Structure 1
């Protein structure tokens, strides 16, 4: 099942990142270039590094100049993340290109890759909530509350994994079909963001 593979690769990417715990670390993708697993690993590594960028920018004592540098880096990371999601959807479009949707086939509210994107973020939430649930020098009541939140996240992972598998099964059977709308993030495009094109030299 696809979601089980996704969860496995995401967990590996998260644990690999935390071996170094360095946003700037130049990682090596362990999966074959061009493979589905390679896409998943890169996607989750970007998510993991960005998770820690978001931590940095929330430091109440951060210098505004430093905060702006982080904000721009997060914007760049978000664009890379979006590009990876679209690459994953391209993989599915190719995989199911010969499936003819039935007359009553329905479209889903989101594409498979955007659901997988949520699964990647969920894997990060689970990892970090688990870390917080075993953090030393925290009172028992707070630890219990975190363990309860972890339980909810794990249930959410189970439910989302099942939903992704069902969606892909429906697409394969022609009961649902997928469309991919490129995100076209205007604020990153120097030809579409008026602040950028009005400041061109």
Structure 2
């Protein structure tokens, strides 16, 4: 199943990152650039680096200049994440381009790639909650509470995977159809962000 491939690659990306656990380390994507696996690995790597940037910026003693730099890094990361999601949806659009939707075909509330985006974030939540559930220097109460949360996250991943597989099956059968809206982020666009275009005048 496609979601099994996703989970496998997301876990690989997370483990690769945590070999060094450094937001500055360069990605070493092991998959061919033309493959969906390459996009899935890239997607999760971006998410993983951003996860740790979000941790760093919450340090109450962080230098304000450093915090500003990280905030801008996170903004750039968000744009990259959106771009990769759109590339993944392009893969599905190409895959199902010959399918003729049924007359009563319905549109889904989100595209396959945005559901896969949530699967990638869930992989990170599961990895880090597992860390907390087994942290040797934590109290038994902390570990037990985190194990309960981990159980819920694992159930959530299973449910989300089932929903994604059902969506892909319905698209392939013409019961649902894809309609992708390119993200129209305004804050990074100098012609749409008033702070940027007024500052340029």
What is the TM-score normalised by the length of structure 1?
0.98
Cα offset, 1:65, TM superposition: 1.5
Equivalent residue number for residue 30 of structure 1? 30
Q: How does 1:3-82 map to 2 (within 5 A)?
A: 3-82=3-82
Work out whether 1:198 is the aligned partner of 2:190: no
Deviations 1:72-94 (A, max 9, x none): 00000000000000000000000
Deviations 1:89-121 (A, max 9, x none): 000000000000001100000000000000000
Specify every segment of 5 or more residues in structure 1 that has no aligned partner in the other structure, as ranges: none
Q: Which runs of 4+ in 1 moved over 2 A?
A: none
DSSP 3-state at the match of 2:7: helix
Instruction: Tell me how large the CA RMSD over aligned residues is.
Output: 0.8
Cα offset, 1:25, TM superposition: 0.7
Equivalent residue number for residue 182 of structure 1? 182
Deviations 1:132-155 (A, max 9, x none): 111112111111000000000000
Equivalent residue number for residue 126 of structure 1? 126
State the alpha-carbon separation in 1 of the partners of residues 138 and 53 from structure 2: 25
Equivalent residue number for residue 95 of structure 2? 95
State the alpha-carbon separation in 1 of the partners of residues 200 and 29 from structure 2: 37
Q: How does 1:82-161 map to 2 (within 5 A)?
A: 82-161=82-161
Equivalent residue number for residue 171 of structure 1? 171
Cα offset, 1:66, TM superposition: 1.3
State the alpha-carbon separation in 2 of the partners of residues 88 and 82 from structure 1: 10
Cα offset, 1:187, TM superposition: 0.5
State the alpha-carbon separation in 2 of the partners of residues 140 and 28 from structure 1: 37
Specify every segment of 5 or more residues in structure 2 that has no aligned partner in the other structure, as ranges: none
What is the TM-score normalised by the length of structure 2?
0.98
State the alpha-carbon separation in 1 of the partners of residues 140 and 27 from structure 2: 37
